[in-house]
Amino acid sequence: MNHIAAFLLVLCDEDEEEAFYFFLSILFATDYCGLIVNDLLKLNSFFYCFERLLNIMFPEMNSYLKNINVNGGYFLSPWFITLFTNAFNNEDGKDNLKIMVKIFDLFLLSGWKAIFKIGISLIKNNSIKIFSLPYEKLVHYLNNEMIHSDFFKNDNYKELINISLNFKISNNLINNLRKEFEMKTNILN
């Protein structure tokens, strides 16, 4: 959560009280706290949903990742837990303020589906690189380097947002996938 807090502090011109209340609003309005309680059940359901959505929208990538045994848990945690604010500072030490503001706008406007859409967009845009990397380098790339790719920099924020908006993901679809995850989890237990 420190990534989110740091971003909000910058966004609020270092007004700590305003950033604090903004952060509280995010926690309550989006059930953010649900990600990190109850044995990470919500986070795990998001992993499941993401993989299912990836299978629907980009089946070649989903098959490729499954074939080399790379599951969403390897790289999705920081995306959901930090709401992509772990990309706020790029490798050059420059702030990606424009793109982070757009991501937060989408998140606050449409909820968690915005994070799913941006994640799938990020994978789709980096697919050539993902398909070319061997397993060892791929896991590192997905965890660390992809979030700092050129696609995720201020200059490209319009492209990222446009690609994200083109994915037809509804909150209803995500809720149905979460219910599917819950049923599978209950059956296994």
Q: What is the DSSP string of 75-90?
A: TSHHHHHHTTGGGSB-
How high is the pLDDT of residue 94? 56
Res 93 pLDDT > 60: no
How high is the pLDDT of residue 60? 96
83 contacts 107 by C-beta, under 8 angstroms = yes
Express each pLDDT in 28-62 by its tens digit.
Answer: 888 888 887 777 888 999 999 999 999 999 999 99
Express each pLDDT in 113-151 by its tens digit.
Answer: 999 999 998 898 889 999 999 888 998 898 888 877 766
Q: Hey, what are 55's tokens?
A: 């299978």
How high is the pLDDT of residue 31? 83
